[in-house]
Amino acid sequence: MLGRRNPQRSFFEAQSLPHRVPADSFYGRMGAVSHSLFQDDDLAEMYCLDNGRPSLPPSLMSGVTLLQFYDDVSDREAVERMMFDMRWKVALNLPLDFPGIDPSSLVVFRKRLLAHGQERYAFDRLLVVGRAAGFLPYTATLLIDTTPVKGAGAVQDTYTLLRKGTRKLLRAAGFQLPGNRQGLAPQAQALVATYLDRDRKAEIDWSDSQQRTAQLKVLVQDAEAALELVAAHLDNEEVRTFGWVLTKILGDDLDRDDPGTPKLAQGTAPDRIISSTDTEMRHGRKSAAQRFDGFKVSVATEADSELILDITDLAATAGDGCQLVPTLERVEQHAQIEVRRLIGDGAYHSGDNLAACASHVGHAVELVSRFSQPDNQDTDKTAFDIDLAAGSITCPQGHWVSGQPSRDQAGRAILKFTFPRPVCACCALFAACVRSKTTGRTVKTHAHEACLQQARARQASGDFKALYATRCKVERKLAELARHGLRQTRYLGARKRQLQRLWIGAAVNLKRLFTLAQRTGRDLSLVLAPVNGPKQAALPV
């Protein structure tokens, strides 16, 4: 049954007694609005209203969860701070003799949020508060960037992946139960006993390449035998999942020599699984020199208020620009803001993104992003003058050719320009410009070449540099999120990861709301009073 906070004030409330928590600290400011920051009725659908033992008040649990992510502490540490930390008592308006709760209550509360699709509750509610307080405009400029985050699982080598993958597959099929092993062939029983009765690394000399090769052969044979053994259990979704994972590991990490002996594959598969614990983790690169293991997180902030409007997970192997349009759509849906301009780094600058922003439903969006500098500006495609209307191109030396219709890899219409080889052979830049052995220089347009040309002209304008410089605000916000634990994933599974990102974002947004309120002289407690959660329409200022 839905539990509610007791409106009766206690003589032992931390706010009623002398304390050393500064009123202008995050905890002091949160305590000043704790009675209206979260409402019990906002999450009433998660509880039975007329039966059962009263639950812990969801307004209290929301506040605890927000502080937990703000201070980046575990469930057990969060409970201890509720009991012994004066800052938390002030922030949550708890009495000094508060008996505490069981740490598992936080786990149950997060499960309820996920089960009822309320993982965005705190994040969306604070956006509504920002709108009601007048901090969020109705049309805005969006700043967007990504940051790498670690996964929740350990990165494992191929030997460990095969061993753990085989074990998980056999457990999924139920062979850890003695009754399910009856009737198995002796060889199958030995296989099951090896991986389920004990789970230890092989005791070999790992510095000896021959022993490593022999152990790899054993692991591969056992994995293939396990896949055959569970073939009769494919109606079980968990068996199909772990079977797919083990099959992918075998395909990505291994090759076979001429006799058919398995060996480690050279190079790394683009979508290689790196952990049997968190199978969604991947190798990723922020730059040529910076590699990470886990995921990316995309963050979008409003340029003036610096409130976070969107925060979401990306695969480590995904390009930053692939999330641009979905981010735009989520921001306009949840924050009720019309985005007029998007500012991001060069990773977002593509013809497809430019075209998508220009043709955005309802209104055009200006994408402000910088082209990377080419290695050789004299021979780069940008040095050629492409006239799309005339279907012609002029090289830096003044030579002109007309284009021929062609198709790109996606089947879209483009123009292909090929200069005669004798013309190119006479040019001083021939060696640096021409790669073909039979023709002269070939230049292809993009399917959205007109958008790219407009963007290059925009970058050459006088106000571009000042406008692009505002992107530093989102980088500053990423650093702030990292201080609150963003770069360490706590949970397994996409929805649980997203819950963590959203509640960290909500904590940072609340801190920003306090700053904006102090700067403008607004009283957030007066704004919070009529706001009953993200389901209510945003209030006009």
CB atoms within 10 A of CB 504: 27
Q: Which domain holds residue 442?
A: 381-447
241-246: which pairs have CB atoms within 8 A and are 24 or more residues apart? Answer: 241/172, 242/165, 242/168, 242/169, 242/172, 243/169, 245/165, 245/168, 245/169, 245/273, 245/276, 245/279, 246/162, 246/165, 246/166, 246/168, 246/169
Nearest CA among 72, 117, 64 for reference residue 498: 117
Band the pLDDT of 428: cuts 50, 70, 90. Answer: confident
Residues 40, 173, single domain; the answer is no
Q: What is the mean pLDDT of residues 500-514?
A: 97
Give pLDDT tens digits for 28-59: 999 999 888 999 999 999 998 888 888 999 99
Instruction: Give residue 539's pLDDT.
Output: 32
Q: Report the largest interatomic distance among the alpha carbons of the chain, rounded to a whole angstrom.
A: 94
Amino acid identity at 399? H
Burial class (CB in 10 A: 0-12, 13-18, 19+), 173: buried
Cα distance between residue 164 and residue 166, in whole Å: 5
Residues 255, 178, single domain; the answer is yes
Q: What is the mean pLDDT of residues 470-492?
A: 95
Residues 244, 124, single domain; the answer is no
CB 88 within 8 A of CB 82: yes
Looking at the domain assignment, is residue 360 inside a domain?
Answer: yes
Q: How many distinct structural domains can be found in the chain?
A: 4
Cα distance between residue 406 and residue 388, in whole Å: 14
Looking at the domain assignment, is residue 278 inside a domain?
Answer: no
CA 321 to chain centre: 13
Looking at the domain assignment, is residue 366 inside a domain?
Answer: yes
Band the pLDDT of 8: cuts 50, 70, 90. Answer: low
Residues 182, 201, single domain; the answer is yes
CA 459 to chain centre: 29
Give pLDDT tens digits for 439-475: 999 999 999 999 999 998 888 888 888 899 999 999 9
What is the b/e burial string over 156-166, where b = at least 16 CB atoms within 10 angstroms of the residue's CB?
bebbebbbbbb
Band the pLDDT of 11: cuts 50, 70, 90. Answer: low
Q: Please, what is the Cα angle at 493 between 491 and 498, to 5 degrees?
A: 75
Question: Which of 264, 292, 307 is the C-terminal boundary of a domain?
Answer: 264
Cα distance between residue 225 and residue 212, in whole Å: 20
Looking at the domain assignment, is residue 234 inside a domain?
Answer: yes
Give pLDDT tens digits for 93-103: 998 888 899 99
Q: What is the mean pLDDT of residues 240-247?
A: 95
Cα separations in angstroms, 156 against 163, 197, 278, 314, 388:
10, 21, 11, 21, 52
Residues 328, 476, single domain; the answer is yes
Looking at the domain assignment, is residue 304 inside a domain?
Answer: yes
Give pLDDT tens digits for 165-210: 999 999 999 999 988 888 899 999 999 999 998 878 889 999 999 9
Name the DSSP class of 27.
Answer: H
Pairing of strands 400-402, 404-407: unpaired
Residues 88, 51, single domain; the answer is yes
Residues 28, 130, single domain; the answer is yes
Give pLDDT tens digits for 249-278: 999 999 988 777 899 998 888 899 999 999
